[in-house]
């Protein structure tokens, strides 16, 4: 993700605190109260400029979506897009995924989306990959029993690594595709990165991985 310095970003985020939630720790265990309903909550970790989360929310009005993004200068682009809609089932968090368990309780989240996560190809950076075991543990700590991770990427190395990591962790792999756009998967919402890479002819890899009761 190319980062541009946007001096206005901080203030713009603060001015929209109904959509980019400040101090999200205060809602731990109470996110349904914030949304004002008991609908399931899905999160996207590394939401980028927000096209996926907004598209998913338009497609599924009875699911609540939370987009999580580390950088202010990136999340403001998602915020701008969100403000052009009347969606009530999306919120954004400007936080690091390392802090997920401080923000959500066990059983609070039904699904985690990881889309085109940074590959961190050097092995000394393995721990930063969002499919590394310590992240899988964090997701497990906030997901419902048999909660799911839906992961897509154009990066074959990261995909292979992630399948291994999911499987070593004991996740059940489902709906594996090595060419999502030429598969029978329905209802795909493209991310910004997905549009860019698929326009260059690169296949998109996708998998759904489910936590199991017995480990």
Q: How far is the CB of 212 from ligand SAM (least distance, A)?
A: 25
Q: Where does this chain touch ligand SAM (CB under 6 A) — which range of 28-36, 62-70, 157-165, 200-208?
A: 62-70
Binding residue (CB under 6 A) for ligand SAM from 65, 116, 159, 211: 116
Question: Is 209 within 8 Å of 166 (Cβ atoms)?
Answer: yes
Is 184 annotated among the ligand-binding residues? no
Q: How far, in Å, CA of 140 to CA of 148, rounded?
A: 9
Q: How far is the CB of 211 from ligand SAM (least distance, A)?
A: 20
Catalytic amino acids?
A: 118
Contacts of 150 by beta carbon, 8 Å cutoff, 6+ apart: 111, 112, 113, 114, 206, 207, 208, 209
Bin 187: left if φ > 0, else alpha if -120 < ψ < 50, else beta.
Answer: left
Backbone phi, psi, residue 199, to 5°: -65, -25
**Other CB atoms closer than 10 Å to residue 26's CB: what's the count?**
10
Beta bridge partners of 120: none
Q: Given the complex with ligand SAM, which of 36 and 108 has the nearer CB atom?
A: 108
Is 69 a binding residue for ligand SAM by CB under 6 A? The answer is yes
Site for ligand SAM in 27-56 (CB under 6 A): 45-48
Is 72 annotated among the ligand-binding residues? no
Is 24 a binding residue for ligand SAM by CB under 6 A? The answer is no
Pairing label, strands 109-115, 64-68: unpaired
Interaction pattern, residues 169-208, with ligand SAM; x per rule: CB under 6 A = ----------------------xxxx--------------
Is 70 a binding residue for ligand SAM by CB under 6 A? The answer is yes
Indicate the DSSP class of residue 134.
H
Q: Which residues are annotated as a binding site?
A: 44, 69, 96, 118, 122, 154, 191-194
Which positions lie near ligand SAM, rule CB under 6 A? 1, 45-48, 68-71, 74, 96-97, 115-118, 191-194
């Amino acid at each position: 993700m190319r980062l541009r310095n946007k001096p206005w970003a901080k203030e713009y985020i603060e001015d929209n605190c109904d959509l980019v939630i400040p101090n999200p720790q205060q809602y731990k265990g109470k996110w349904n109260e914030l949304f004002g309903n008991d609908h399931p909550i899905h999160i996207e970790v590394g939401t980028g400029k927000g096209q996926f989360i907004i598209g998913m929310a338009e497609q599924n009005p009875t699911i609540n979506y939370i987009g999580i993004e580390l950088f202010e200068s990136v999340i403001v682009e998602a915020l701008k897009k969100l403000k052009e809609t009347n969606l009530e089932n999306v919120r954004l968090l400007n936080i690091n995924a390392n802090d997920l368990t401080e923000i959500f309780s066990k059983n609070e989240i039904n699904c985690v989306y990881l889309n085109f996560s940074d590959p961190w190809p050097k092995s000394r950076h393995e721990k930063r990959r969002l499919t590394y075991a310590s992240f899988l543990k964090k997701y497990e700590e906030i997901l419902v029993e048999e909660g799911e991770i839906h992961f897509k990427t154009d990066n074959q190395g990261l995909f292979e690594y992630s399948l291994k990591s999911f499987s070593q962790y004991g996740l059940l792999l489902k709906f594996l595709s090595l060419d999502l756009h030429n598969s029978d998967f329905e209802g795909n919402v493209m991310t910004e990165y997905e549009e860019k890479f698929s326009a260059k002819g690169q296949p998109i890899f996708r998998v759904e991985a489910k936590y199991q009761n017995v480990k």
